[in-house]
């Protein structure tokens, strides 16, 4: 069974689930306590469309509570400094002919989250990454959160560094809910891996430290999260499925020269000093994030996307999985390198460290590296990278 749901809004999904409930009333129900493994859920097809189809969940402790060795999913909870407050999600289900069917949107979303976390745990294990994290992972759905300006957060998902957890806020856009978008969950999940690398400089009071953390390392964090999500799902433009107006995060675009570190630092200083006495630092940092860190991350993800599609068949970097594995293996040893650094970083510093062994690269990969990374930053013109930075176009 496969029902095309496209990018239906939540109200439309609710009507669809009502129709399914009426349809199931004609089917014979199984015993209440019989643990089924198949659920009718909105799930991505190989073509990138989302359809209602049977999805197997193997490790959930009970079909009536979304919890198991892969994840604990909480519904509609507040957040404290100790984690999500309240109960785990308890999906409303009907069953017939060996298939559990969620009776509302939130039940469906909570089960989709668990199904992906189950697969992400297996994916991390295959990539040699699962040992970095604590399992089960903690995920909040329809989480209630008020930002520093008193506004209720919506249309977003975030990784909570202090809690090592992921939270999905309510969706108001007429688009695919982020909790159903498996690539969004994979993106947020990856931040826990990057966090585990503990990429921090030794505190020295240097003016470079804030720039390195806010722009270079945050940009790498976001870029690798997008690339990880692409490797997991095969989707190179997943953000626009849930935020249709965002056309800045696609990976299958022409790679541009990586923006020089000195230029990034100069613009960072300008943003942080503008309105210093009247604009809160958090808001100035927000501009840095949206105008520098995220675009830099997209540049890095686009570069890795193309590197993963230019490998020679049978080579060490033949596909996206082998490129991701190399990135993760090299970053695991970068902590010691970074700890000795006492100056500003450039995005290319980390790229050159990762791809230090040129013998692994195909000629096409080497050409891309030389064209976009191994350039004398003094010779790089703004026209070569400006297209990747919407705030400055």
> pLDDT band at 342, cuts 50/70/90?
low
Mean pLDDT of 223-227: 98
> pLDDT band at 24, cuts 50/70/90?
very low
pLDDT tens sequence across 152-194 = 889 999 999 999 999 999 999 999 999 999 999 999 999 999 9
- In this structure, are 120 and 246 located in the same domain? no
pTM, entire model: 0.89
- In this structure, are 139 and 225 located in the same domain? no
- In this structure, are 154 and 214 located in the same domain? no
* Structural domain includes residue 174: no
* Structural domain includes residue 275: yes
- In this structure, are 239 and 161 located in the same domain? no
- In this structure, are 7 and 58 located in the same domain? yes
- In this structure, are 358 and 212 located in the same domain? yes
Domain limit, last residue, from 168, 185, 211:
168
- In this structure, are 160 and 209 located in the same domain? no
Per the structure, the complete domain to which residue 271 belongs is given by 198-392
pLDDT tens sequence across 80-126 = 888 998 899 999 999 877 899 999 999 999 999 999 999 999 999 99
- In this structure, are 59 and 97 located in the same domain? yes
Q: Which of 12-21, 242-251, 334-343 has the highest mean pLDDT?
A: 242-251
3-state secondary structure the chain: CCEECCCCCHHHHHHHHHHHHHHHCCCCCCCCCCCCCEEEEEEECCCCCEEEEEEECCCCCECCECECCCEEEEECCEEECCEEECCECCCCEEEECCEEEECCHHHHHHHHHHHHHHHHHHHHHHCCCHHHCCCCEEEEECCCCECCCCCECCCCEEEECCCCEEEECCCCCCCCCCCCCHHHHHHHHHHHHHHHHCCCCCCCCCCHHHHHHHHHHHHHHHHHHHHHHHHHHCCCCCHHHHCCCCCCCCCCCCCCCCCCHHHHHHHHHHHHHCCCCCCCHHHHHHHHHHHHHHHHHHHHHHHHHHHCCCCCCCCCCCCHHHHHHHHHHHHCCHHHHHHCCCCCCCHHHHHHHHCCCHHHCCHHHHHHHHHHCCCCHHHCCHHHCHHHCHHHC
**How many domains is the chain built from?**
2
> pLDDT band at 337, cuts 50/70/90?
confident
- In this structure, are 144 and 258 located in the same domain? no
- In this structure, are 216 and 290 located in the same domain? yes
pLDDT value, residue 34? 42
Domain limit, last residue, from 149, 168, 187:
168
* Structural domain includes residue 178: no
């Amino acid at each position: 069974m496969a029902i095309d749901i496209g990018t239906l809004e939540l109200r439309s999904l609710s009507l669809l689930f009502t129709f399914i409930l009426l349809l199931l009333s004609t089917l014979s129900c199984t015993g209440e306590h019989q643990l089924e493994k198949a659920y009718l859920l909105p799930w991505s097809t190989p073509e990138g469309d989302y359809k209602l189809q049977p999805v197997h969940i193997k490790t959930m402790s009970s079909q009536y509570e979304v919890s198991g060795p892969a994840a604990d999913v909480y519904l509609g909870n507040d957040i404290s400094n100790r984690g999500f407050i309240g109960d785990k999600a308890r999906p409303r289900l009907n069953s017939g002919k060996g298939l559990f069917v969620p009776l509302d949107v939130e039940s469906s979303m909570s089960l989709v989250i668990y199904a992906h976390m189950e697969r992400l745990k297996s994916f991390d294990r295959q990539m040699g990454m699962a040992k970095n994290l604590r399992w089960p992972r903690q995920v909040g759905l329809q989480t209630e959160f008020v930002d520093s300006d008193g506004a209720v957060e919506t249309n977003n998902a975030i990784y909570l560094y202090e809690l090592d957890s992921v939270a999905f806020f309510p969706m108001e856009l007429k688009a695919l809910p982020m909790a159903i978008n498996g690539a969004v969950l994979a993106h947020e999940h990856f931040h826990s891996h990057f966090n585990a690398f503990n990429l921090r400089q030794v505190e020295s009071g240097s003016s470079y430290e804030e720039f390195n953390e806010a722009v270079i390392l945050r940009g790498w964090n976001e870029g690798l999260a997008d690339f990880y999500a692409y490797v997991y799902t095969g989707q190179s433009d997943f953000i626009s499925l849930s935020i249709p107006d965002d056309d800045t995060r696609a990976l299958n675009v022409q790679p541009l020269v990586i923006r020089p570190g000195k230029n990034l630092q100069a613009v960072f200083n300008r943003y942080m000093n503008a309105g210093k006495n009247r604009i809160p630092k958090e808001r100035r940092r927000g501009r840095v994030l949206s105008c520098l860190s995220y675009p830099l991350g997209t540049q890095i993800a686009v570069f890795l996307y193309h590197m993963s599609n230019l490998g020679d068949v049978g080579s060490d970097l033949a596909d996206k999985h082998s490129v991701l594995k190399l990135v993760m293996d090299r970053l695991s040893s970068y902590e010691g390198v970074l700890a000795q650094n006492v100056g500003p970083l450039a995005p290319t510093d980390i790229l050159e460290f990762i791809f230090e062994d040129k013998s692994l690269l195909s000629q096409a990969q080497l050409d891309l590296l030389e064209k976009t990374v191994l350039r004398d930053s003094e010779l790089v013109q703004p026209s070569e990278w400006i297209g990747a930075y919407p705030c400055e176009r």
